[in-house]
Structure formats: structure tokens, C-alpha cells
Amino acid sequence: MKKVDITNLSGMFLIAVPGLKDPNFEKTVVLICDHTNDGAFGLVINRILLSSFIPLSSGLDIKECIIDLPVYYGGPVKPEQGYILYSSSNIYYPSIKINRNLSLTTSKEILIDIATGKGPSKYLFTLGFAGWSPGQLEYELMIDSWLVAPSNNKIIFETPVKDRWKAAADLIGVDLNRVVCRQARV
């Protein structure tokens, strides 16, 4: 089994252990987008906030919306800020590359393109993010609040939302129904 460097989890999944009772993160999967000495930044990928993007589109001056998309809860920090994870393609938006097949942007242009059917084929739109100060995530890992797994675009974009927590744990051979742990706190 490959050793995990807990000081750089960029591009990895954090899977909340069953004992994690923080309402912001209970039974969540977080994609870590960036992790440095300055802290960590990630997005929850398995919690839908709104089933339809259309009510938000007018506030963003998006006039045409032929494709609707759910709005995910990305985390408790800056809930007014939107983030779009998308499968990297030939379409360019100002982005951070998470891995060779996955990018992250806050570009309004991608939302306009998605709404009009011209954007990337695989995307996930979130409001808010999950953030950790320097050393905080490493501490939470040491007290067994999270499991770590490699990220997987199929889970992010194709697996039904209700199945993502279990599917992410399956990547590392963990049956969440059999995990026994004390109540984890974040």
C-alpha cells in the first residue's frame, strides 16, 4: 500500500469517519484541492444544497439556462462564493489544476457555458468551501476524524450523491458499517 504524506493531501479524498458528528462534515467526502504549510482547502462533494441552479442564475446575470445543475454544499467557509470542479478538457478557464483530469475555477464564464450547453461535460458546482489553518488538518487526521483515499473522478461526477461516502471508502477497502471509533470531533 502506498504511503500517504499527510502534509500534502492535494488531490486526495477525506472521508469522514462514522463517529464524526460535526454537522458540517458528518458522512461527507471532501476533495482536498490545495494543501500546503499555510493550511488546506477542499470541497464537500456529496451534499446537495439546492436541487436547481436556476434560482441563482438571474443573480449572476445568466440570461439563458438550458441546462440545470444541482448546487452542492462545498463547506461552511464563504458560502456566498461559488466553485466549479470540472473534468479538464480543451476548454480553458482560469483554473487550478488538481490533477491531470480535474481542475477548479471560480470563473463566471464556465457557469454561463454550462448553462447554455457549451461547457465541459463533467462538472460540479459548489457554494462555500472547507478550510483548515496550518496544522489543523494534520491534527484531525492524528485523532482519527478522517480516512484518506485517492480522488476518483467517477465518484465525483458519476456516482449517485447518496453513494459517494461509501464509494470513497471502498477505494481503500474500508467498510464504513464495520468501523468502530469514538465520537470524533473537528
| Alpha-helical runs (H) found in 62-124 | 108-115
Q: What domains can be seen in the chain, in order of their start residue?
A: 12-170 (3.40.1740.10)
- Look at residue 27 and tell me whether its pLDDT is greater than 90: yes
Percent of the chain clearing pLDDT 90 (strictly above): 58
The residues, any chain, with a CB within 8 Å of residue 17's CB and separated by 6 or more, are: 144, 145, 146, 147, 179, 181, 184
Q: What tens digit of pLDDT does each residue of 86-137 get?
A: 987 666 788 888 988 899 999 888 888 888 888 888 999 999 999 999 999 9
**pTM metric for this prediction:** 0.89
Nearest to 156 by CA among 77, 101, 80, 115: 101
pLDDT for the residue 182: 56
Cβ 17 vs Cβ 146: under 8 Å = yes
Q: What tens digit of pLDDT does each residue of 60-86 get?
A: 666 666 667 888 999 999 999 999 999
Distance CA 93, CA 107 (A): 7
Burial (CB < 10 A; 0-12, 13-18, 19+), residue 22, is middle
